[in-house]
Structure 1
Amino acid sequence: MKISVQFLLYTHIQSSIVFLKGDAVGILPIINNTYILLTKQFRAPLGRSFLEIPGGMTDGSLDFSLVALKELQEEIGLNISKKSLKSLGKIIPSPDLCDEQIHLFLLEIEMSETEMKIIKQKLFGTDDEAIKIRILKVEEAFLEVEDASTLVAMNRAGLK
């Protein structure tokens, strides 16, 4: 939702356009301490697909780890327990324009080569999504990823 607001800033009235998006979650899955599992999704505002960590909107829920579990199931087909997630804090990507806050999580998992091959061949997402999976070595991910929340999650997880 887009709204126009006016507020008093020191001694004068300031006008601004604000997009109300709400909170979201993002989960950084690290496989075998070597690989990162990323989603590849089309993003209409820029007209192309991007590599991103799995995630989605909280739709008003304040149980961010529960939303993260739901998104992992929907976007990459993983069923895990809540205790497997480690918080990486939150980021506010565009405070000048939007109210969105993204709550980041780390998920460290073990997966065989066969399991990785199978998951890369599947298509995930809800009816309005077509999500492909990419599994990259950490150093490759740093070169290919452009999404800011993914890069912040990788940095906060201590990846280099």
Structure 2
Amino acid sequence: MKKFEEKTIRTEEIFDGKVVKLQVDEVLLPNGKRSTRELIKHPGAVAVIPITKDNKIVFVEQFRKPLEKSLIEIPAGKLEPGEKPEITAIRELEEETGYTTSQLTFVTSFYTSPGFADELMYLYLSRDLEKVDQPLAPDEDEFVEIIELTLAEAKEYVSKERIHDAKTNYAIVYLELLERML
């Protein structure tokens, strides 16, 4: 066994939903003892940092039920089975904002909550936005409002916790670093 590896002894599937699966694994720890791990299995997701021609970031505001409040976030969505992240990114961008793009730049990928979930999120940047005359419809249970902010305005929203999720904060820090390099 590797230094920190936990060997799975048994898996119990608890829930199989549209977005996530929940399982409980019994594991053998590196010290030989046993423990349990509650795990969320997720198909992965994408997020896009969309920048308009006048250098504004396109955000969506939406209600987040686990938090019981609305957040302002960059557009994002779940990967569909067999779908490439770039395709998901363009689809989600259009569904949520009414913009499309012919150019995506891969920024990075990261695990959103590795302590209990395997969700891997792919982050893209696009500065080549075009408004779509008849955009793809959002999901039937998705209600969003578009907000366009400068980087300075977005940082102010962060300080007031109007922007308060990891992917969007990551995007703002990334844009701030890019700005400093130019």
TM-score over 0.5 (shorter chain): yes
Alpha-carbon distance, 1:126 to partner: 2.0
Alpha-carbon distance, 1:156 to partner: 2.7
Please give the residue correspondences for 1:123-134 in structure 2 after superposition, counting only pairs within 5 Å: 125-134=138-147
More helix by share: 1
CA contact (8 A) 2:101 2:126 kept: no
Q: Using the alignment, how far apart are the partners of 1:159 and 1:141 within structure 2?
A: 14
Q: Cα distance 1:26–1:87, how it changes in 2: closer, same or farther (>3 A)?
A: same
Task: Tell me which residue corresponds to 1:53.
Answer: 74
TM-score (norm 1): 0.83
CA contact (8 A) 1:28 1:106 kept: yes
Task: Tell me which residue corresponds to 1:114.
Answer: none
Q: Using the alignment, how far apart are the partners of 2:98 and 2:54 within structure 1?
A: 20
Task: Tell me which residue corresponds to 2:27.
Answer: 7
Q: Alignment length, in residue pairs?
A: 148
CA contact (8 A) 1:27 1:54 kept: yes
Alpha-carbon distance, 1:31 to partner: 1.9
Q: Is 1:146 matched up with 2:164?
A: yes
Alpha-carbon distance, 1:159 to partner: 4.8
CA contact (8 A) 2:99 2:129 kept: no
Question: Which stretch of structure 1 is more off in the superposition, 28-37 or 95-104?
Answer: 28-37
Q: Is 1:105 matched up with 2:124?
A: yes
> What is the identity percentage for the equivalent residue pairs of Structure 1 and Structure 2?
28
Q: Using the alignment, how far apart are the partners of 1:110 and 1:75 within structure 2?
A: 13
Alpha-carbon distance, 1:34 to partner: 3.0
Q: Find runs of 4+ consecutive structure 1 residues off by over 4 angstroms.
A: none
Q: Is 1:66 matched up with 2:83?
A: no
Q: Which residue identity does 1:86 align to in structure 2? A: T
Q: Using the alignment, how far apart are the partners of 2:86 and 2:96 within structure 1?
A: 15
Task: Tell me which residue corresponds to 1:115.
Answer: none
Query: Is the radius of gyration larger for structure 1 or structure 2?
Result: 2
Taking only aligned residues, the RMSD between alpha carbons, in angstroms, comes to 2.1
More RCO (CA 8 Å, sep 6+):
1
Task: Tell me which residue corresponds to 1:137.
Answer: 150
